[in-house]
Structure 1
């Protein structure tokens, strides 16, 4: 299943329900450039995410770190981590994505020992899975098998999925994860989410740098450093990008013209909105609206 768009709450938490009919597991085959934004926007969710790139190259950002994932490689993304993905060099990237509830990878009695500490660790945002490592290659094969089991839905496929997930988790735990728990890093992540939370609640109104910094209990300069570290851009540039992202849904509604949309998402000038939209989307909002309503 391809998801062209997904909803997030004001704190960027994805609201898509990640499960099959009977399992807390979901499998998506995602072609990045077919997303409504042309990329997978920044979001997070409670589920673990396992990725296998089957075509092309993907550029992933997880919290403040970035990594290229080549065809045949993959990723483990930990619960609660902000992440986004983009196609690298118009490669037509397609990847399999398995999202799974953390409490499903091992029996309930083992959760406190073998899962909870790995969610809480501050040094375990993601793991790059390469075919060069036999344990990682095994995990990549398991991701492909889970996708096949879910697609085919043959009798007892649920048990096969459960077995493969437990095998994946055991492989991860057995291969060199030294857990760290740094209070300062946990505080940084929390402050970043608080600032994003504030922006997502107030994007339609006037936003000043001082407001964003205050939401994270930071100075303006420290706020800018946080955004540069986590997102590679300034706070106000992020606000502009987020407003454009929110405008895409409105542009698909025939009752709103471009000027209406510009003001609804917080721009105080339609011409400024058009200019920033063109820079971001490589087309005008008029062209996007026409294409979306064809």
Structure 2
């Protein structure tokens, strides 16, 4: 089981690069994550996805996008996203993360790359093999994955060429970029509230505290969470506490009561009830299962 690590701002802590290049390409099996899904996070890198098995649902900012085998996604820099299996399909996908500055040369970056990063109406693009421009991108992602595995002579140059193909075809899609200040502010406030929760989840948290972190009223705060996460702020706090408890429960010396209080629950029975509803087992059963492996 792999732990998916993010910092207090939900920024992923994985370093997306090889020794030589500011990129990372790997196969991800969603249900092998410690949570059973890829939790909400963001990173500066562009992310390109190709599903090689099963189906998945990606949440990107406020939208849920179903992606089937052979299809893919472009996820823009800095956008909140997560992934879950669709109908227990044991989804596997190739994930390519690329530093935006590496997509094109420095001379071309400000003209052809940065406008896409700054666009407020481009959190993602769906990549369908039925569209010629998208099919070219999907093929290039697979080629980069193979190049990184083989590491033949001059493979770095070949990867750079494939990235140019990817970006040129993405621009050929003809997407009209927009820049709205209200969207920028909304995204900033959402991250501020999530950041505050991740700093204080182990303490008592009130709705007023979360709203204050986002400089919003209580009602607006609730609307933000419902729109982006499809749940209330306090339900998100509970889910996040359970997520944080998973690693602690795998420590041999830990007890269910200790873990409950470490992650912010003030009642062991309440923790057990919420954990069972979220994970379909009790914390003790989860602990026994993981520590016996």
| Poorly superposed stretches of 4+, deviation over 2 Å | none
Shift of 1:6: 2.5
Distance 1:245 1:46 in 2: 23
Distance 2:152 2:39 in 1: 34
Provide Cα deviations, 1:162-212, integer angstroms capped at 9, x if missing partner.
Answer: 111111011001211111000001110000000001000000000000000
Distance 2:90 2:225 in 1: 29
Which residue is equivalent to 2:19? 21
Which residue is equivalent to 2:259? 261
Q: Which consecutive unaligned segments of at least 5 residues does structure 1 have?
A: none
Which residue is equivalent to 1:150? 148
Which residue is equivalent to 1:179? 177
* 2:254 aligned counterpart, secondary structure: coil
Give the one of 226, 229, 233 matched to 2:227: 229
Contact 2:44/2:77 (CA < 8 Å) preserved in 1?
yes
Give the one of 188, 195, 198 matched to 2:196: 198
Provide Cα deviations, 1:82-117, integer angstroms capped at 9, x if missing partner.
Answer: 000000000110000000100000001111111111
Which residue is equivalent to 1:61? 59
Q: Which consecutive unaligned segments of at least 5 residues does structure 2 have?
A: none
Distance 1:88 1:175 in 2: 27
Distance 1:5 1:113 in 2: 38
Matched, 1:217 2:210: no
Give TM-score, length-normalised by structure 1.
0.98
Which residue is equivalent to 2:246? 248
Between 1:188-197 and 1:156-165, the stretch displaced more is: 156-165
Which residue is equivalent to 2:270? 272
1:11-160 alignment to 2 at 5 Å? 11-160=9-158
Distance 2:200 2:238 in 1: 12
Provide Cα deviations, 1:206-239, integer angstroms capped at 9, x if missing partner.
Answer: 0000000010011101100000000010000000
* 2:120 aligned counterpart, secondary structure: coil
Distance 1:12 1:176 in 2: 31
* 2:197 aligned counterpart, secondary structure: helix
Distance 1:256 1:269 in 2: 16
* 2:50 aligned counterpart, secondary structure: strand
Give TM-score, length-normalised by structure 2.
0.98
Shift of 1:292: 1.3
Aligned-residue CA RMSD in angstroms?
0.8
